[in-house]
Structure 1
Amino acid sequence: MSKEIYRNTVEFAVRGRYALFSDILTRAGGEKSSYPIPTYEALKGILHSIYWKPTIVWIIDSVRIMNPIRTARKGIRPIKYGGGNDLAYYTYLEDVYYQVRAHFEWNMNRPELEKDRNEHKHHNIAKRMIERGGRRDIFLGTRECQGYVEPCRFGEITGAYDNCGSIPYGLMYHGITYADEAVSNDDKDMLTVRLWNPVLENGVIEFIRPEECTLKRHIRKMPIKPFGELYDNFTGLDEFVGGDIGELD
């Protein structure tokens, strides 16, 4: 069943020669191997590079896998902690192309930014930033994998897995819940890692919301950094923006 389409939904395509959505089980040995599909956290990071404000929280609804899943192995010489270089093999995804659908919600853990809750403003800025390819560089899981974004209509163009049926991928990393985006009471003031069991249905993965992940682990306590004090440090800021801090881009 398709998810609800929110009025502040954004849709975009992201492409790249390579991607590396690291499987956390492969990192212990010093080598990295990519998951076959993008993680929730990686797609959220792409949206943060397109447009982000502490006032909003991006929710990834769906991703559509457009190209066949292929891998490429490369020899890498990463820097060792003790100095010098090591030799490792990284397994990347090759020639990736995804369509992404997402929407934003207000970050209720930041009441000091209540004046900035202008849905029309943030939605239009986000759409403009997608048209321009993002505010910052786009990376597909890791910095050496450059990505490129452009507007699209989710579901347009034939994808490689449109008629593949159901493909489960087992237990995978979903993302990290930081204290300032926590929704569940048990995640408040905590840094939390989430896991889930994704299923590819005819080329589309419908993500569950972060607070719906039942497989999670609290890493440590984490305070929320306030943003209100930042505004107080600027004398006359209200006059500069016409008395409404929320209109700053």
Structure 2
Amino acid sequence: MKTYCLEVSGDFACFTRPEMKVERVSYDVMTPSSARAIFESILWKPVIRWHIDQIEVLKPIRWVSIRRNEVGAVISVRNAQEAMNKGAGCLGLNIEDERQQRAGLFLRDVTYRIHAHFELQPNAGENNTPAKFLDMFERRVEKGQCVNQPYLGCREFACNFRLVDSVQAQSNSVAETRDLGWMLYDMDYSDATDPQPRFFRAALENGILRVPAWNSHEVKG
């Protein structure tokens, strides 16, 4: 299967660590799930699934602390169900009542090269061929088209993207090697009623984060 490379960049990024309950703290490097979301923002179809092969870090890892206003509540599921049954109801939230000010430790001035490929799902059908989606993706990315604006972890951190034709002709990744610890790989939706997070032991080697296959023994539930 053909592998594509996207170069993405932005002023800020936050790939939130799930173990941080109150304040947002980013992983040192983009997570595979965030990288997958960028490819899906350009081309998403229910019969294909993107797989991230590796992530290159092109700029030194730098941090910034920002205090932001956030909404500290969500609309009640029970209220939503009652409104659906009655055909009317108030589902709004008063921002002034639910506003919370929280600090976050984010990444700043980031640039990555993401290498990924997709595979067809078993229910793809005869009319859905790899060539069809390869052509569709190339056409969309060359025109800068996307389903939704790609972002770096949080929706307010929009990013620029471009297709890299020849990686050899591009700048090298940062010369940094470090153990990144356990990192969120993605959510496992095999049980739709109870999705579970899956993790892998991440390591940066000369600026490159190599991502194991989804069904690899390196990915833990």
For residue 36 of structure 2, the aligned residue among 39, 44, 51 is: 44
- What runs of 5+ residues in structure 2 fail to find an aligned partner? 75-96
Letter in 1 for 2:159: G
For residue 202 of structure 2, the aligned residue among 198, 202, 220 is: 198
For residue 72 of structure 2, the aligned residue among 77, 80, 87 is: 80
Correspondences of 1:84-163 after superposition (within 5 Å): 84-108=98-122, 111=123, 113-135=124-146, 136-152=148-164, 153-159=166-172, 161=174, 163=175
Change (3 A) 1:114 1:159: same
Aligned equivalent of 1:24: 18
Change (3 A) 1:9 1:90: same
Aligned equivalent of 1:209: 213
Query: Partner of 1:199: helix, strand, or coil?
Result: strand
- Whether the aligned pair in 2 keeps the contact of 1:36 and 1:69 (CA below 8 Å) is yes
Cα shift at 1:160: 5.0
- What runs of 5+ residues in structure 1 fail to find an aligned partner? 1-5, 180-186, 217-249
Change (3 A) 1:103 1:171: same
Cα shift at 1:85: 1.1
Aligned equivalent of 1:237: none
- Whether the aligned pair in 2 keeps the contact of 1:40 and 1:174 (CA below 8 Å) is yes
* 2:4 counterpart of 1:10: yes
Aligned equivalent of 2:87: none
Return the alpha-carbon distance in structure 2 between the equivalents of residues 116 and 63 of structure 1: 32
Return the alpha-carbon distance in structure 1 between the equivalents of residues 118 and 199 of structure 2: 21
TM-score, structure 2 normalization: 0.82
Identity %: 24
* 2:60 counterpart of 1:68: yes
Return the alpha-carbon distance in structure 2 between the equivalents of residues 88 and 203 of structure 1: 31
Query: Partner of 1:44: helix, strand, or coil?
Result: helix
The aligned length equals 196
Segments ≥4 residues shifted beyond 2 Å: 153-160, 187-192
Letter in 2 for 1:101: H
Return the alpha-carbon distance in structure 1 between the equivalents of residues 152 and 58 of structure 2: 15
Change (3 A) 1:204 1:134: farther
- Whether the aligned pair in 1 keeps the contact of 2:56 and 2:173 (CA below 8 Å) is no
Return the alpha-carbon distance in structure 2 between the equivalents of residues 211 and 116 of structure 1: 27
Cα shift at 1:190: 6.0
Return the alpha-carbon distance in structure 2 between the equivalents of residues 197 and 85 of structure 1: 36
- Whether the aligned pair in 1 keeps the contact of 2:38 and 2:150 (CA below 8 Å) is yes
- Whether the aligned pair in 2 keeps the contact of 1:49 and 1:134 (CA below 8 Å) is no
Q: Deviations over 1:64-86 (max 9, x none)?
A: 10011111111111112283311
CA RMSD of aligned residues (A): 2.0
Cα shift at 1:199: 1.1
Aligned equivalent of 2:51: 59
- Whether the aligned pair in 1 keeps the contact of 2:65 and 2:105 (CA below 8 Å) is yes
Higher share in strand:
2
Letter in 1 for 2:210: E
